[in-house]
């Protein structure tokens, strides 16, 4: 292999994880080539809520990683002039069981997290103009969440990194083969590097089909909606069903009872893995979701009744006048089935897989790259 003064790295995929590893490798002195098969990234990184969501991460390594990512996001957004908003988040609690979970969460977590508060009904109504008064008992407020418009951010960051660091993005360039310290593109060009990092998200099967089949992974398929602009300005929102979706709430004393309650009272929502997240972008549009369906194959057809279940729940918790949908789409992400927080593995000499933040890639990727880079480059 050719030895140059500046070590070379190759990253496959220009989603948030590819961007995070490219940035981190460049900061360690590597010249980085990033290969992205599409003209612009179109994977999960542009299909999400743009929520940097530390509140969903369990206290300890992952919460600290989320907070580290958050600082990197803020610094990067400021430098690259990318819109971002420190909104904090409200989880609206609609019944005594959810309020009890809120109390248990505050009791257990207040010392481990920044800016947590349990709001009563009047405080919640005062803070949130769009909440449905008859269906609110209170809310968990967290001060750490920020929103980016991921469609904008994921497309602007490559230009900024190209200008400011030793990183070159090769768009419309699919990698079709990976060998030790080497890749081959669809145009039959080969590139060599000391290290190759595969960040191609849920499409790992394209490069390593047998490895993909035998690894403890599944793919989560989600339905999402975006509204037309609304008049109110709102922070990032979620509601009771989110207790069943984030590891931060694991093992709360009343969680098992709540899960039974949800199965009895929201059986279709439970079946489709629906909870409610709402983020607002700089055009005052809302991104609304989501559902979760798991498996290695997913049909491309959006199911109207699932969208309707998401909107029914939204309309129970919030009262947003003249809400009209402007867009609907699906997204997918690779999810680890072995409960690990990341998947970092050298699968051939000098070839690493970096994957696994699942439904929290926007929240965790920058911190994950910082925390794991030494495994790859020593
Ligand atoms: C609907 C939805 C909502 C979500 N909401 C949030 C949220 O609000 N907050 C949060 O923290 N997380 C959220 N997530 C999770 C987050 O979006 C993902 O964890 C993250 O985007 C994964 O990033 P990635 O770079 O691994 O994958 P991707 O963004 O999918 O990027 C992989 C890239 O690799 C490219 N590629 C694939 N194969 C090749 C090849 N052979 N050659 C070259 N290029 C290739 C693809 O084109 C793609 O651009 C959400 C996910 C979804 C689907």
Residue 204 sits in a domain whose CATH number is: 3.50.50.60
Joined tokens for residue 173: 């360039």
- Asked if residue 255 and residue 116 are part of one domain, the reply reads yes
Q: What is the pLDDT of residues 302-314, one digit of tens each?
A: 999 999 999 999 9
Q: Which range, of 17-31, 107-121, 200-214, 296-310, averages the lowest pLDDT?
A: 200-214
By most ligand atoms within 8 Å of CB, the mutation choice from 73, 186, 200 for ligand 1 is 200
Mean pLDDT calculated for residue range 10-33: 98
Of ligand 1's listed atoms, the one at least distance from the Cα of 220 is: 53
How close is the Cα of 155 to the center of ligand 1, in Å? 13
pLDDT band, very low/low/confident/very high, at 2 (cuts 50, 70, 90): very low
Say if 231 falls within a structural domain. Answer: yes
- Asked if residue 291 and residue 238 are part of one domain, the reply reads yes
Joined tokens for residue 104: 């248990």
Mean pLDDT calculated for residue range 26-39: 98
Q: What is the pLDDT of residues 181-199, one digit of tens each?
A: 999 999 999 999 999 999 9
**pLDDT at residue number 373:** 98
Q: What is the pLDDT of residues 141-164, one digit of tens each?
A: 999 999 999 999 999 999 999 999
Residue closest by Cα to atom 35 of ligand 1 = 13
Residues 6+ apart with CB under 8 A from 128: 90, 92, 139, 234, 235, 237
**pLDDT at residue number 4:** 57
- Asked if residue 129 and residue 237 are part of one domain, the reply reads yes
Instruction: Please give the radius of gyration of the chain, using alpha carbons only, rounded to the nearest integer.
Output: 21
CATH number, position 290 = 3.30.9.10
360 lines ligand 1 (CB under 6 A): yes
Mean pLDDT calculated for residue range 342-357: 96
- Asked if residue 137 and residue 207 are part of one domain, the reply reads no
Mean pLDDT calculated for residue range 30-53: 97
By most ligand atoms within 8 Å of CB, the mutation choice from 201, 281, 306 for ligand 1 is 201
**pLDDT at residue number 259:** 98
- Asked if residue 322 and residue 227 are part of one domain, the reply reads yes
Number of domains in the chain: 2
Of ligand 1's listed atoms, the one at least distance from the Cα of 56 is: 11
First to last CA, the chain: 19
pLDDT for residue 334 is more than 60: yes
54 lines ligand 1 (CB under 6 A): no
H/E stretch holding 196 reads strand 195-198
* 212 vs 79, higher pLDDT: 79
Q: Which range, of 68-72, 85-89, 251-255, 337-341, averages the lowest pLDDT?
A: 337-341
pLDDT for residue 3 is more than 60: no
Of ligand 1's listed atoms, the one at least distance from the Cα of 359 is: 15
pLDDT for residue 376 is more than 70: yes
pLDDT band, very low/low/confident/very high, at 1 (cuts 50, 70, 90): very low
- Asked if residue 316 and residue 253 are part of one domain, the reply reads yes
Say if 205 falls within a structural domain. Answer: yes
- Asked if residue 236 and residue 121 are part of one domain, the reply reads yes
Say what angle helices 361-377 and 16-27 make with each other, to 10 degrees.
40
49 lines ligand 1 (CB under 6 A): yes
- Asked if residue 98 and residue 129 are part of one domain, the reply reads yes
- Cα(163)–Cα(174) distance, integer angstroms: 23
Provide the domain limits for residue 245.
Answer: 89-143+217-336
Residue closest by Cα to atom 6 of ligand 1 = 48
307 lines ligand 1 (CB under 6 A): no
Say if 323 falls within a structural domain. Answer: yes
224 lines ligand 1 (CB under 6 A): yes
How close is the Cα of 270 to the center of ligand 1, in Å? 25
Q: Sheet of 195-198: strands edge to edge?
A: 167-170, 31-35, 8-12, 195-198, 351-355, 343-348
Q: What is the pLDDT of residues 206-243, one digit of tens each?
A: 898 888 888 999 999 999 999 999 999 999 999 999 99
- Asked if residue 252 and residue 138 are part of one domain, the reply reads yes
How close is the Cα of 224 to the center of ligand 1, in Å? 15
332 lines ligand 1 (CB under 6 A): yes
Say if 2 falls within a structural domain. Answer: no
pLDDT for residue 284 is more than 50: yes
Joined tokens for residue 133: 């008064």
By most ligand atoms within 8 Å of CB, the mutation choice from 19, 21, 35, 48 for ligand 1 is 48
Say if 292 falls within a structural domain. Answer: yes
Say if 82 falls within a structural domain. Answer: no
- Asked if residue 324 and residue 243 are part of one domain, the reply reads yes
241 lines ligand 1 (CB under 6 A): no
Of ligand 1's listed atoms, the one at least distance from the Cα of 154 is: 29
149 lines ligand 1 (CB under 6 A): no
Say if 302 falls within a structural domain. Answer: yes
Q: Report CA-CA distances (Å) from 309 to 69, 104, 228, 271, 316.
A: 32, 28, 19, 11, 11
How close is the Cα of 44 to the center of ligand 1, in Å? 3
- Asked if residue 310 and residue 202 are part of one domain, the reply reads no
Q: What is the pTM of this model?
A: 0.97
Residue closest by Cα to atom 2 of ligand 1 = 48
Mean pLDDT calculated for residue range 356-378: 97
- Asked if residue 156 and residue 270 are part of one domain, the reply reads no
Say if 57 falls within a structural domain. Answer: no
pLDDT for residue 13 is more than 70: yes
């Amino acid at each position: 292999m050719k030895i140059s003064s500046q070590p070379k790295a190759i990253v496959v995929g220009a989603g948030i994880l590819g961007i995070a590893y490219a940035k981190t490798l460049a900061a360690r002195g590597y010249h980085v080539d990033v290969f992205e098969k599409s003209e612009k990234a179109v994977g999960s990184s542009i299909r999400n809520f743009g929520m940097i969501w530390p509140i969903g991460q369990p206290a300890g390594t992952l919460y600290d990683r989320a907070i580290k990512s958050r600082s990197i996001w803020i610094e990067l957004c400021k430098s690259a002039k990318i819109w971002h908003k420190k909104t904090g988040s409200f989880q609206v609690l609609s019944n005594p069981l959810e309020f009890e979970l809120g109390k248990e969460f505050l009791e257990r977590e207040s010392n481990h997290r920044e800016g947590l508060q349990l709001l009563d009904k009047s405080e919640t109504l005062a803070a949130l103009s769009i909440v449905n008064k008859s269906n609110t008992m209170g809310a968990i407020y967290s001060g750490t969440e920020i929103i980016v418009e991921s469609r904008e951010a994921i497309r602007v960051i490559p230009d900024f990194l190209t200008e400011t660091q030793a990183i070159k993005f090769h768009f419309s360039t699919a990698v079709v083969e990976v060998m030790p310290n080497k890749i081959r593109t669809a145009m039959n060009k080969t590139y060599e590097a000391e290290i190759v990092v595969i960040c191609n998200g849920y499409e790992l099967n394209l490069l390593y089909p047998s490895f993909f089949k035998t690894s403890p992974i599944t793919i989560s398929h989600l339905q999402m909606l975006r509204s037309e602009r609304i008049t109110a300005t709102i922070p990032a929102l979620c509601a009771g069903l989110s207790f069943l979706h984030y590891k931060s709430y694991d093992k709360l004393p009343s969680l098992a009872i709540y899960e039974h309650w949800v199965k009895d009272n929201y059986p279709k929502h439970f079946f489709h893995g629906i909870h409610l997240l709402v983020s607002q972008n700089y055009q005052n549009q809302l991104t609304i979701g989501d559902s979760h369906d798991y498996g290695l194959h997913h049909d491309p057809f959006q199911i109207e009744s699932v969208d309707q279940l998401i909107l029914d729940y939204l309309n129970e918790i919030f009262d947003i006048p003249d809400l009209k949908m402007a867009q609907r789409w699906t997204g997918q992400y690779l999810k680890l089935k072995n409960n690990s927080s990341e998947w970092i593995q050298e699968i051939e000499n000098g070839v690493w897989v970096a994957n696994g933040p699942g439904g929290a890639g926007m929240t965790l990727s920058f911190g994950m790259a910082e925390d794991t880079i030494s495994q790859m480059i020593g």
